[in-house]
Structure formats: C-alpha cells, structure tokens
C-alpha cells in the first residue's frame, strides 16, 4: 500500500536526521555479492550456486534458522583486508542514512574457530573505523561479542586473545542462540571485561524470557540491553528499565524476519516508547533482514504510525545510549537540534 502524503513527507524528513546505530553485527552486513566476491578471492567453496540462490535462502523462521546461514556466509572472511572491505561497505551505507555514530558488533569466535587469527579480525575492522572517520566523519567503535552457544571457557580464551587489542575496543557483548544459554553462564567473563574497563551489553529478551533481561542486568551488569522486546511481558522489569534509563537497542526488521513479531504493525516499539523506555531503532543484520538504518526507520514509522516527535525521541535516545564522553554527546545533540 502506498504511503499517505503526510507519511511520505515524514519519511523524507526522518532520512535526514542524524542518528547513532548501536546494534549492528558487521558479519550481518555482508551482502551476497560481497560474499561471492570474497569466496572467489579466497577460494572458499560456498554451498550456494549463485548470489540469487543464496538470497533465496533468506527465508527465516526463527533466530537459529538465520544464524546457520549467517555463520556460513562469514566463512569467506579470512584476511585483514576482507574484514576491512566488509566494514567499509557498511560505513558507506551508514553514511548514506545519516548515521554519524555507530557501535559495531563482531564475533571473533566465528573466525578464530576457523583458524583466522584475532589480529586479522580486529586490525581490519579497526583500520576501517579510522578510514570511516576520515572519509565520512563517522565515529565508529567496536564491541566484541561472545557467542553464547559456546562455553564460558571459550569466551574467556577469546577475551585473553583480544587483550593486546584492548585499546581498539569500546566494549563486549553477548550474541548467538539465546534460548538455553542464559546470561548467568557468562558472569565471570563479563566481570573480567568490566575490570578491563570495557563497556558491557548483552542480547536478551529477543527470543528468551524476561528472566534473561533481569540476569543481564544483575549478573552481567550490562549498561544496555540488545533487543529486549520481551520486557513488556513483565511490568516490574519495564518499571526498572524505565527508572534506570537502561537503553534497549530494538531492531524492527530483524524482529519481523525472525518471526519475533508476526507483523510490523504489531511491533512492540510504540508500546516501549509509551512506557517511557529509552528505546532505539537499529538494523541488526542489514544484509539479511531487508534493510539498513533508514529502511528500519521508514518501515517502522509507517507500520506504527509514528510521528516527528517520536523521531526526535528515538534519535535523542540513540545519542543518550551511545558510549561517548559528555562533550561528544552534547555535540551530537546539537547536530540533532540543528537538523530542525
């Protein structure tokens, strides 16, 4: 259905708002064309005959059905240059969507388990972050994610392997298969990460229950919750998240594609904003879920009939939730004010 004239005008305006993206897995920005180009460059065999065949496989029923294909796609990444090229392709898209600050998740265990050294991963991504600043004036930070389907021992080894690159990281996170892998499984590695001065976030309440959000807050002491949409099932949890202004990095097109919500018109974002939560919009795995930052904003605004006021709130929330010093935050908020 075509958008109303008013919605078309609103969408035009929200495209130009400066924003921060706080929930984006860089391996999830690998477009099929780049997967095939890297497979050729690195002589990696793919179980798909063509770009079209790969794209046709992007019909997901839940988180795990996506993760299986996502890890297969990441198998083409071998060298520093591959990580650099992947990140630069994302930054170009982010810049086009007026993303001025982005905090990128990466999954080192997906690569080190295949024999790729940590330095190839982090140096490639870090070099791209520097070039994104120089080329597009994007502030890009790196968040190392532990894979929760693996053991805490493996996460501890990963933290140890990343220690020489501590200064290239802003924080750590927790991702992959949620149900059956509660946050409390990672209490020690998160405590060690906090001791290193790393900021801490975790995926919780995407497919997992509200109890996982409580655990992420109390056991891991996270500063933001990734997804967190299932918090609405627990009024006491909503009250706490609102009172403590814990940001939630919501990913609407991801929730739609992974069947967390049956229809964007039933997406919980509006209820989350109405409950006074510090919710933000993000793309999660944009190459797999049908769009980058502005595609997420546009589809969500149209489906939930959000307003310009909501847009300002969402952009403000993204800057409030960013891991930056207060002077940088003030600068971002001034840019937001200047956009009106």
Q: Is 284 in the site for Zn ion (CB under 5 A)?
A: yes
> What 3-state DSSP class applies to 233?
helix
In the complex, the smallest distance separating the C-beta of residue 339 from Zn ion, rounded to whole angstroms, is 27
Backbone angles phi, psi at 306, to 5 degrees: -75, 165
Q: What is the CA 59 to chain-centroid distance, rounded?
A: 20
Q: Is 175 in the site for ligand HPA (CB under 6 A)?
A: yes
Q: Is 103 in the site for Zn ion (CB under 5 A)?
A: no
Q: Is 103 in the site for ligand HPA (CB under 6 A)?
A: no
> What 3-state DSSP class applies to 272?
helix
Closest CB to ligand HPA among 101 and 203? 203
Measured over the CA atoms of residue 139, residue 328, residue 309 and residue 217, the dihedral's sign is positive
Q: Is 32 in the site for ligand HPA (CB under 6 A)?
A: no
Closest CB to ligand HPA among 31 and 175? 175
Q: Is 31 in the site for Zn ion (CB under 5 A)?
A: no
Q: Which residue has the tokens 């791209």?
A: 128
Distances (CA, A) of 82 to 209, 253, 262: 36, 26, 36
In the complex, the smallest distance separating the C-beta of residue 115 from Zn ion, rounded to whole angstroms, is 25
Q: Contacting ligand HPA (CB under 6 A), which of 75, 176, 215, 283?
A: 176
Is the CB of residue 268 less than 8 Å from the CB of residue 229?
Answer: yes
Residue 282 interacts with which of ligand HPA, Zn ion, none, CB < 5 to 8 Å by class: none
Q: Is 203 in the site for ligand HPA (CB under 6 A)?
A: yes
Q: Alpha-carbon distance 149 to 324, whole Å?
A: 30
Backbone angles phi, psi at 57, to 5 degrees: -80, -5
Is the CB of residue 242 less than 8 Å from the CB of residue 275?
Answer: yes
Pairing of strands 224-227, 171-175: unpaired
The interface region with Zn ion, picked from 128-136, 208-216, 279-287, 288-296 by CB under 5 A, is: 279-287
In the complex, the smallest distance separating the C-beta of residue 227 from Zn ion, rounded to whole angstroms, is 7
Q: Is 21 in the site for ligand HPA (CB under 6 A)?
A: no
Q: Is 25 in the site for ligand HPA (CB under 6 A)?
A: yes
The interface region with Zn ion, picked from 96-104, 135-143, 234-242, 284-292 by CB under 5 A, is: 284-292
Which residue lies nearest ligand HPA, judged by its C-beta? Answer: 175
Q: Is 206 a catalytic residue?
A: yes
Closest CB to ligand HPA among 277 and 287? 287
Q: Is 285 in the site for ligand HPA (CB under 6 A)?
A: yes
Burial of 287 (0-12, 13-18, 19+ CB in 10 A): buried
- What is the total count of residues that contact ligand HPA (CB under 6 A)? 11
CB atoms within 10 A of CB 125: 24
Which residue lies nearest Zn ion, judged by its C-beta? Answer: 284
Burial of 2 (0-12, 13-18, 19+ CB in 10 A): exposed
Q: Is 207 in the site for Zn ion (CB under 5 A)?
A: no
- In the set 206, 207, 320, 326, the catalytic residue is 206
Q: Is 255 in the site for ligand HPA (CB under 6 A)?
A: no
Q: Which residue has the tokens 């990140």?
A: 87
Q: Alpha-carbon distance 220 to 191, whole Å?
A: 7
Q: Which residues bind ligand HPA (CB under 6 A)?
A: 25, 28, 63, 70, 175-176, 203, 206, 254, 284-285
Tell me which residues are annotated as active site. Answer: 206
Q: Which residues bind Zn ion (CB under 5 A)?
A: 284
């Amino acid at each position: 259905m075509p958008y109303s004239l008013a919605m078309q005008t609103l969408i035009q305006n929200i495209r130009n708002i400066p924003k921060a993206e706080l929930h984006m897995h860089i391996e999830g920005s690998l477009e099929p064309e780049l997967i095939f180009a890297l497979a050729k460059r690195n002589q990696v065999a793919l179980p798909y005959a063509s770009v079209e065949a790969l794209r046709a496989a992007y019909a997901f029923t839940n988180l795990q059905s996506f993760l299986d294909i996502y890890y297969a796609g990441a198998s083409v990444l071998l060298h520093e240059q591959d990580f650099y090229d992947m990140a630069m392709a994302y930054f170009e898209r982010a810049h086009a969507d007026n993303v001025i600050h982005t905090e990128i998740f990466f999954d080192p265990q997906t690569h080190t388990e295949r024999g790729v050294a940590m330095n190839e991963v982090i140096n490639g991504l870090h070099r791209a972050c520097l070039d994104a600043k120089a080329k597009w004036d994007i502030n890009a930070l790196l968040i190392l994610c532990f894979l929760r389907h693996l053991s805490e021992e493996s996460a501890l080894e990963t933290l140890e392997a990343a220690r020489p690159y501590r200064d290239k990281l802003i924080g750590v996170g927790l991702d992959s298969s949620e149900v059956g892998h509660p946050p409390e499984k990672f209490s020690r590695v998160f405590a060690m990460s906090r001791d290193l001065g790393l900021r801490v976030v975790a995926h919780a309440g995407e497919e997992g229950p509200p109890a996982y959000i409580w655990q992420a807050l109390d056991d891991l002491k996270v500063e933001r919750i990734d997804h967190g949409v299932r918090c609405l099932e627990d009024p006491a949890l909503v009250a706490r998240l609102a009172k403590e202004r814990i940001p939630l990095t919501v990913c609407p097109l991801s929730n739609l594609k992974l069947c967390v919500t049956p229809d964007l018109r039933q997406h919980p974002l509006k209820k989350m904003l109405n409950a006074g939560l510090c919710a933000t919009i993000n793309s999660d795995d944009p190459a797999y879920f049908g769009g980058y930052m502005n595609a997420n904003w546009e589809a969500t605004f149209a489906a939930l009939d959000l307003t310009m006021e909501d847009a300002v709130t969402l952009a403000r929330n993204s800057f409030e939730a960013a891991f930056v010093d207060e002077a940088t935050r003030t600068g971002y908020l001034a840019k937001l004010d200047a956009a009106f």
